[in-house]
Homo-oligomer: A and B are copies of this chain.
Amino acid sequence: MSGNSFGRVFVFTSFGESHGPAIGGVVDGCPPGLALSAADLQRDLDRRKPGQSRHTTQRRESDTVEILSGVFEGVTTGAPIGLLIRNEDQRSKDYSEIAARYRPGHADYTYDQKYGRRDYRGGGRSSARETAVRVAAGAIAKKYLAEHAGILVRGYLSQLGPIRPASLDWDQVEQNPFFCPCAETVPRLEAYMDDLRKEGNSIGAAITVVASGMPTGLGEPVFDRLDADIAHAMMSINAVKGVEIGAGFACVEQKGTEHRDEMTPEGFLSNHAGGILGGISSGQDVLVRIALKPTSSIRLPGRTIDTAGHATEVVTKGRHDPCVGIRATPIAEAMLALVLMDHLLRHRGQNAGVVPPTPPIPA
């Protein structure tokens, strides 16, 4: 395996398995001078943390992060930032039954095919537990973006199975365990999840992530476009099967007159582009939407094969999220922040001194 690093000048490297001693990572390329402490990372870690409502896995992890390097006297020094989170609540014995059989729709089979062996305890490296460190790293990026570039990254649950929020109120997002932006929708979500849990099944979801206060000019054509790197980042999140920027798939049925965002001296008149034109940020909000599949770790039996290739059935008894989308909002925010941070630094380096031809128009 390689491919555990993300970014080109603001580089995040991740390690750790679900049931190993620890997960952790390294953030390399953070500019010096950012005020930073473990508490700054803990807030987002707590938002992602399991076991905070009956709707997520009951695994108990404090997800306490330790900053091992790169910060001196409360401020980043420019040196790489080492991050460590010890695993605490591993019940590896839960997995003995599935050690020799593959969960359909799970990485069990492909890891075995690729590596010739796998850490079957809780999914090993393929577990969503790995995303905790992404959230810690993303919190560093979010803090820098907010304090030194005026960029705000935030997200919400935009769909869970058949249910969509009836309205978008940012103030509601942190008031419920679903990151749902509509208070009236929450009871429907709770009822749906309670039924689902009884059924022993799982469900898909969609998350929307938004970056506001964007500068113009982030993104490097042609392959490292801002939208291409965002797509990469989002599709790297466990369970994601689709990514949209701005209008997304709706653009297939749009005409040019409808899709194009007309411009006036007062600003753009719409945002079908999702804040990115030709791979470069336009100053409008960056709008991203992702689809997350229902987890394959469910209590309802399914047909599968064992590691010897024989037909069998599998039932997953471990502690799992019936909707991985519920805890995905902080993860998606983290990944968007990592992309923006990388592109902010890339743009700065190559375009220092360039004066834009006109003042950017308001978003």
Determine which of B114, B148, B256, B352 lies in contact with A294 in the assembled complex, contact meaning CB atoms within 8 Å.
B256
Taking a contact as CB atoms under 8 Å apart, the answer to whether B248 and A66 are in contact is no
Taking a contact as CB atoms under 8 Å apart, the answer to whether A9 and B346 are in contact is yes
> Does A305 make an interface contact (CB < 8 A)?
yes
Chain B residues with Cβ under 8 A from A115's Cβ? 32, 77-78, 351, 354
Binary contact track A238-271/B, C-beta < 8 Å → 1, others 0: 1011111111111111111111111111000100
Taking a contact as CB atoms under 8 Å apart, the answer to whether B263 and A77 are in contact is no
Taking a contact as CB atoms under 8 Å apart, the answer to whether B232 and A242 are in contact is no
8 Å CB interface, A198-250 against B:
201-206, 216-217, 219-225, 227-236, 238, 240-250
Taking a contact as CB atoms under 8 Å apart, the answer to whether B15 and A217 are in contact is no
Determine which of B24, B110, B235, B345 lies in contact with A350 in the assembled complex, contact meaning CB atoms within 8 Å.
B345
> Which stretch in A39-47, A57-65, A178-186, A355-363 binds the other chain?
A355-363
Chain B residues with Cβ under 8 A from A304's Cβ? 262-264
Determine which of B9, B202, B260, B361 lies in contact with A305 in the assembled complex, contact meaning CB atoms within 8 Å.
B361
The verdict on A80 contacting B161 (CB below 8 Å), with A1-B221, A204-B253 known, is no
Taking a contact as CB atoms under 8 Å apart, the answer to whether B1 and A79 are in contact is yes
Give A126's nearest chain B residue, CB to CB: B278
CB distance from A356 to the nearest CB of B (A): 5
Taking a contact as CB atoms under 8 Å apart, the answer to whether B17 and A79 are in contact is yes
> Does A112 make an interface contact (CB < 8 A)?
yes
Bound: A107/B245 CA distance, A: 15
Binary contact track A126-157/B, C-beta < 8 Å → 1, others 0: 10001000000000000000001000000000
> Does A95 make an interface contact (CB < 8 A)?
no
> Does A329 make an interface contact (CB < 8 A)?
no
Give A274's nearest chain B residue, CB to CB: B241
Binary contact track A1-30/B, C-beta < 8 Å → 1, others 0: 111111011110111110011111110110
Bound: A359/B45 CA distance, A: 41
Taking a contact as CB atoms under 8 Å apart, the answer to whether B354 and A349 are in contact is no
Bound: A305/B217 CA distance, A: 18
Taking a contact as CB atoms under 8 Å apart, the answer to whether A247 and B293 are in contact is yes
Bound: A25/B80 CA distance, A: 10
Taking a contact as CB atoms under 8 Å apart, the answer to whether B282 and A109 are in contact is yes
Taking a contact as CB atoms under 8 Å apart, the answer to whether A109 and B245 are in contact is no
Determine which of B10, B224, B291 lies in contact with A249 in the assembled complex, contact meaning CB atoms within 8 Å.
B291
The verdict on A259 contacting B294 (CB below 8 Å), with A264-B311, A303-B269 known, is yes
Chain B residues with Cβ under 8 A from A2's Cβ? 9-11, 28-29, 80, 220, 224, 346, 350
Give A1's nearest chain B residue, CB to CB: B78
Bound: A169/B32 CA distance, A: 42
> Does A124 make an interface contact (CB < 8 A)?
yes
> Does A197 make an interface contact (CB < 8 A)?
no
Determine which of B3, B201, B243, B358 lies in contact with A309 in the assembled complex, contact meaning CB atoms within 8 Å.
B358
14 A–B pairs (Cβ distance < 8 Å), ordered by A: A2-B346, A5-B5, A5-B28, A5-B223, A20-B68, A78-B115, A105-B260, A107-B280, A114-B216, A116-B354, A161-B253, A225-B235, A244-B249, A263-B305
The 3 closest A-B pairs by CB, nearest first: A107-B278, A349-B349, A3-B224
